[in-house]
Amino acid sequence: MNNQDPIADMLTRIRNATRVGRRFVQVPRSKICLGIAQVLKDEGYVEDYDSVDDEQQGQIRIKLKYATNGQKVIQTIDRTSKPGCRVYRSVKDLPSILNGMGICVISTSKGVMSDRRAREQNVGGELLCTIS
**Domain annotation for the chain: domains and CATH numbers:** 6-131 (3.30.1490.10)
| Pairing relationship of beta strands 46-52 and 77-79 according to DSSP bridges | unpaired
How much is the average pLDDT of 109-123?
Answer: 96
Identify the three-state secondary structure at position 42: helix
pLDDT digits (tens, 9 = 90+) for 49-100: 999 988 888 999 999 999 999 899 999 999 999 999 999 999 999 998 888 7
Query: What pTM does this model have?
Result: 0.93
Identify the three-state secondary structure at position 76: coil
Do 46 and 40 touch, CB atoms closer than 8 A? yes
